[in-house]
Amino acid sequence: MRITLAQVDAALGDLDANVDRAERAVAEAVADGTDLVVFPELHLTGYSIGGLPDDVSMKADDPRLTRIARRAGGAGVLAGFVEDGPGIHTYNTAGYFVAGGLVHLHRKLYLPTYKSFEERKHFAPGPSLRAFPGAGGTRMAVLLCNDAWQPQLAFLATQDGARVLLVPAASAQSHFPEHYDSRTYWRDITRFYARMFQLFVVFVNRVGAETTNSGGDLRFWGGSHVVDPWGEIVAEAPEGEEHLLTADIDLADVRRRRHAIPLVKEARLGLISREVARLLDEWGDL
């Protein structure tokens, strides 16, 4: 499978410009024979939407999304946008499209609200995590940025059959808290998941800068990369600049790795279900 990691910038609030940029990236990737194009989190709107005067949400069947998907022909596209969801809710969403049609929506599950992050003020948390048939029928799952900081989600995705974990992000350089470096943490997380759950991890981060609603600056560092089921980084984009990174992966590596060391086959879901139920009874839920 050939995957293109579209490490792009976003013009905050300018949907038309961002859609045009996405179309160009998809066209270039398809010309290179890609099977899948993965974009960063919220690349169609920009991240800091709290300061925008206009509503930038769109329905999942919005013609602009359909246009990007059709540009890919038979290849898959994972696009990040603000979703005008069912009922009253707005979501931070990544949509997977093939041949111009919607296959799957992942609505971000864990929304940070601290320091310069204000997602819980603007979005509702997603209700579910599902693996889905991706490029070539391979089961994939999405963890949208902060979702990947919840290890139980990677476990659930694996048990649902995912062989590729797609991780779109809007990760900025950070000076908090003490002993925290976003680059190092992200590489530790993606390599751990790839090694422990024995699958491919595709991390796609954006570049560029934005000023937040609170007046701070976010500088997105890029560093998009692919990790194989042994935990080795097999392709990596440069930091700080737009780049389309193409990586060829052999999905048979997942079966080989899981056959050699069957770490994911002994999940004991019944045990976990019982213990989770006990914790809910004793401590409740948020």
How does pLDDT run across 233-258, given as a tens digit for each residue? 999 999 999 999 999 999 999 999 99
pLDDT tens for each residue of 39-65: 999 999 999 998 899 999 999 999 999
Strands (DSSP E) along the chain, which ranges? 2-7, 36-38, 76-84, 90-98, 101-107, 113-114, 117-118, 132-133, 139-142, 164-169, 200-205, 207-211, 217-221, 225-227, 233-236, 243-248
Examine residue 219 and state whether it is found in any structural domain, yes or no.
Answer: yes
Residue 22, amino acid: A
Residue 23 and residue 43: Cα distance in Å, rounded?
A: 12
- pLDDT at position 178, please? 66
pLDDT tens for each residue of 161-174: 999 999 999 999 86
Q: What residue numbers bound the domain in which 165 lies?
A: 2-258
Mean pLDDT of the chain: 95
Examine residue 279 and state whether it is found in any structural domain, yes or no.
Answer: no
pTM: 0.96
Examine residue 239 and state whether it is found in any structural domain, yes or no.
Answer: yes
CATH number for position 158: 3.60.110.10
Q: Contact, 57 vs 82, CB < 8 A?
A: yes
* H-helix segments, 94-234: 119-122, 151-159, 182-197
Examine residue 277 and state whether it is found in any structural domain, yes or no.
Answer: no
Examine residue 232 and state whether it is found in any structural domain, yes or no.
Answer: yes
Examine residue 276 and state whether it is found in any structural domain, yes or no.
Answer: no
Structure confidence at residue 176 as a pLDDT band (50, 70, 90): low
Q: Residue 183 burial (CB < 10 Å; 0-12/13-18/19+)?
A: middle
Q: Residue 118 burial (CB < 10 Å; 0-12/13-18/19+)?
A: buried
The domain tally of the chain equals 1
pLDDT tens for each residue of 202-231: 999 999 999 877 667 899 999 999 999 999
CA-based nearest residue to 46, from 97, 6, 83, 11: 11
